[in-house]
Structure formats: C-alpha cells, structure tokens
Amino acid sequence: MNSLLRTCQTPFRPAQREACTSERSLNGTRRIGWSIRSGVGRWRRLMVSATMGTESGLQKGIAEFYDESSGIWEDIWGDHMHHGFYDPNLLASVSDHRSAQIRMIEEALSFAGISEDLLKRPKSLVDVGCGIGGSSRYLARKFGAQCQGITLSPIQAQRAQALAASQGLADSVSFQVADALEQPFPDGQFDLVWSMESGEHMPDKTKFVSELARVAAPGATIILVTWCHRDLSPSEESLKPDEKKLLNKICDAYYLPAWCSTADYVKLLQSLSLQDIKAADWSEYVAPFWPAVIRSALTWKGFTSLFRTGWKTIKGALAMPLMMEGYNKNLIKFAIITCRKPE
C-alpha cells in the first residue's frame, strides 16, 4: 500500500506527470526555454510555470484567481460556484442554470445515499473548497446541521460569512481560510465531508483524499465531485501528446496541478480501506454548462465585469472554449466519487 500512495502523489502513472508539468532539471527547478522570438507570450508562460513550480506558489495563484473572479461570478451566476446538472434530452434555458446548480447538489446527495431521516441525516459538515459558501449554506439549511467551509481565498471566506449572516445562518455556518491538504480540524469530526469541484486544484491527490478521510467521523460519507481526465485503457501508459497539450493550456489558465482519472481516485479510496465506493461520469449531465458560461461572458455585463477585474480572470475566460474542447473530445470528465468511512 505504501508504494501505491507514493506513486499516486504525482499521481498514479509516472508518464501522467507530463499533463501539467514542464521538464525538470536535476536540482528540481523547471527547464523552460527562452528565445527573443517568443516575446511576451513565452515570458508569460515562464512566469506562470515558475509560480506553479512550488505548492505555495500554486496556492497563491489559486487564492488570487478566486479573490479576483468570485465577485463577477456571483454577480452573473449567483453563489453556487460549480456546474449545474441538466437533463441531456432537454434544451436548457438561461433561467434554468441556477436551478441546475441546486440540482447538482441534490443529485450528489442522492447518489451518495444521504438520508433525510431526522435520526440519520448528517449533523456536522465540512465543505472543502467552499467558494462563497453556496453549498455550505444550502446543506446547513437542508439538514439543520452545523457546517464549516474552508477556502484558500480570503475574499471568498469573508463574502461567504457575510452571506451567511444576511441569511440568518451565522450560528450554523462558518468559514475560514485554510489548506485542504492540512485541514484545521481534529480527526473524525464530520458526518458528511463535501468537496464540490475543488479536487482538481490539489497538487497532492493522496494527501487530499487522506485528509478527507481523516476528518470524516466513523460511518461518515465522503462526496467528491471533481474534474478528471479520461481513464486510460489497459494498453495505455499515459495520455496522448495532444491531450497533454490541451490539459497544459487549461492548467495554466485555472491554476491546476497534474490531473488524474476517476479510476485513480477510486484506487486511492480503496488504499485507505474506505467502503461503499461508487463513481460515475456525469459529463453528459453538465454539457450545457460551459456554453452557458461563455454566453454570459459575451454579454455587455460580462464584458464590462471582466475588464474591471484583472488578467487572471480574463485568462480564465479566454480558456473556457478549451474546457468545451476537452469535454467534446472525451478527454475531460466530470466525475462524482462517493464512499463511507468504516464505523
């Protein structure tokens, strides 16, 4: 098991490290070519790669990205900073998108088998990568539970707390700036461990999953919804070069470390002896999401909001078609993985 855990830190297959990393020299620093002809574009890539070369640099980039972009997202899309869940057989209307984000939460709870029975429902929750607290407040209200949310973004934490207070939830929901890889909670504290689209930002998937399991109480459920790359076939050692190239571009835009597959997450959960492990590909149910985000960015309100923010947010907006390309090529998968901690 130890060898499995060591391998997955990068994550599983050594060749997969290439998905979001540059070649490294013997002393651990990145070797990045430079030429005068490459101009400003190459210099920008140099700076992004250098920043993402350390875990602290990656965390700083993530925090600044969400500090900068959360306001525009809330203004246009509301307080749920995640995909919606759609009926793939129906054309989604603009008014349906916010309700689709609520459906995503409900579908995840249903998939995990979370009971609404008064005696069985979760009483304490943690929202890992909480954004501005949309899921935290929804779950706390739904279950009458205590919920704690963590994020790397100080602006998100402040806004989440303000929204909780304005909605009368200040006594049941709290938020703080904290690292998901070193959560500030004791072992076995929470009945439900919730991570909605934050796993893709974690540079050490083994440590991430281990922390989710550590803070879960005996018998607690863990719900992990995250972006993954496609599972590799038995004959493949790594993704194809063009697939790695596309993921690299997305990594640079959204401050992502190496991707892994749904199968990799399942193996990690198995290595920790977690039970009732289930996984599904929900890519078809989120298909309308990125086209809708792009349409919202192309409105006058979207344009003016973007230019009031900064380069990180603009860079993220320019990368949105790359996410659509990844989904269309079946390279990017929207995965849900759930499990239960043994009692």
pLDDT of residue 46: 32
String of b and e for 86-121 (b: at least 16 CB within 10 Å)?
Answer: beeeeebeeebbeebbbbbbebbbebbebeeeeeee
- In this predicted structure, the answer to whether residue 244 has a pLDDT above a threshold of 50 is yes
Q: What is the mean pLDDT of residues 13-24?
A: 36
182 close to 211: Cβ distance less than 8 angstroms: yes
Q: How many CB atoms lie within 10 A of CB 40?
A: 7
pLDDT of residue 11: 39
pLDDT in tens, 39-57: 333 333 333 343 344 677 8
Query: How many C-alpha atoms does 123 have within 13 Å on its Cβ side?
Result: 6
pLDDT of residue 92: 63
More confident residue, 78 or 121: 121
Q: Please state, in angstroms and rounded to a whole number, the distance separating the CA atoms of residues 132 and 81.
A: 8
pLDDT band, residue 2 (cuts 50/70/90): very low
Mean pLDDT of the chain: 81
pLDDT of residue 94: 54
Tokens of 2: 């130890």
More confident residue, 118 or 309: 118
pLDDT in tens, 145-182: 999 999 999 999 999 999 999 999 999 999 999 999 99
Q: What is the mean pLDDT of residues 24-31?
A: 31
Domains delineated in the chain: 76-239+257-289+331-341 (3.40.50.150)
Q: Using alpha carbons, select from 130, 81, 67 the residue that is nearest to residue 311.
A: 67
Give the lowest-confidence range in 195-209, 302-316, 317-331: 302-316
More confident residue, 292 or 324: 324
DSSP bridge partners of 149 = 127, 175
In Å, how far are 115, 135, 196, 280, 302 from 121, measured between CA atoms? 5, 16, 19, 23, 40
pLDDT in tens, 227-240: 999 999 999 999 99
pLDDT in tens, 272-281: 999 999 999 9
**SS3 at position 42:** helix
Q: What angle, rounded to 10 degrees, do the helices at 154-166 and 134-143 form? A: 40
pLDDT band, residue 313 (cuts 50/70/90): low
Q: What is the mean pLDDT of residues 130-135?
A: 94
- In this predicted structure, the answer to whether residue 125 has a pLDDT above a threshold of 70 is yes
Q: What percent of the chain has pLDDT over 90?
A: 59
More confident residue, 300 or 148: 148
